[in-house]
Amino acid sequence: MAEWRDQDGKIVIDYLLAENKKLKTANQNLQNALDSIIALYDITEQMSKSLDADIQLKTLGVGKSLRSNARGKQILMLFKIEDLSPLKESDLASVKDLVSEYDRLKGRR
């Protein structure tokens, strides 16, 4: 293995190899996170399409009332969240953009 030295004669190759390894790990972690986001997005999109309007309304009602009863407070505490609020289509715009960019870069579409 060749040794690279900077102007002061210090070895640079070890640093470069270590940085390369960090970048590969970070890239893999990012890819795993994006795959999870994509899978979750696909699942929730299919679930929301398959639920009828009555069940959707009941689910929204339960989500809104979590803070007002003991069981709801326990669920919020379990997941360490303060409250739930329904998402609007505009709330998902940045996630959709991220997924589209990811797909474009991977050459999926």
All residues at 6 or more sequence positions from 2 whose CB lies less than 8 Å from its CB, including other chains: 13
**Which H or E run contains 5?**
none
For 47-84, b where at least 16 C-beta lie within 10 A, e where not — what string? eeeeeeeeeeeeeeeeeeebeeeeebeeeeeeeeeeeb
Task: Output the six-digit token pair for 105.
Answer: 């870069």
Q: pLDDT per residue over 31-89, tens digit each?
A: 888 777 777 777 777 777 777 778 878 888 888 888 898 988 998 899 898 888 877 77
Distance CA 7, CA 12 (A): 10
pTM of the model: 0.39
pLDDT class of 1 with cuts at 50, 70, 90: very low
Task: Output the six-digit token pair for 22.
Answer: 């960090």
Contacts 24+ apart (CB under 8 A), 31-40: 34/98, 34/99, 34/102, 37/95, 37/98, 37/99, 38/99, 38/102
pLDDT for 74 equals 92
